[in-house]
Amino acid sequence: MLAILTPSVMKFLVLQGYRYCLSKTTSVQKNDASVCITLKPIKSRPATRFLPQGYDTYFSIMHEPLQMAQGINDTEVLVKLDDYDLKKYKGSISIV
């Protein structure tokens, strides 16, 4: 599941023990964005020479992704959550 990266999603990921994010950058043709960055949170540092297919690089979750959560002009930033984390995230939101 892809979700828009927000400060609350970042906080959730850090509390779940994620330390890094794999990153994939693509071009998109949307009214509000021409670039899409898709992040996949991971808990251990990946081998730089052997990144999973489709990913360009990785970041420490407390650096670039933390800044991306604040928003980047002309860029859509998404985070790929697995079903398990998505259920935990939805369960951590208190509905008013």
Looking at the domain assignment, is residue 84 inside a domain?
Answer: yes
pLDDT value at position 93? 46
37, part of any domain? yes
Per-residue pLDDT at 94? 38
Whether 95 maps to a domain, the answer reads: no
pLDDT digits (tens, 9 = 90+) for 14-57: 999 999 999 999 999 888 889 999 999 999 999 988 899 999 99
Domain count, the chain: 1
27 Cβ neighbours under 8 A, 6+ residues apart: 34, 35, 36
Whole-prediction pTM: 0.86
The answer to whether residue 49 sits within a structural domain is: yes
CA distances from 17 to 85, 88, 95 (A): 11, 13, 24
Query: Which residues span the domain enclosing 21?
Result: 2-88
Helix axes 7-15, 83-92, angle to 10 degrees: 110
Asked, for residue 94, whether it belongs to a domain, the answer is no
For residue 61, is it within any domain?
A: yes
- Helix, strand, coil % over all residues of the chain, rounded to 5: 30, 30, 40
Say how far apart CA 48 and CA 95 lie, in whole Å. 41
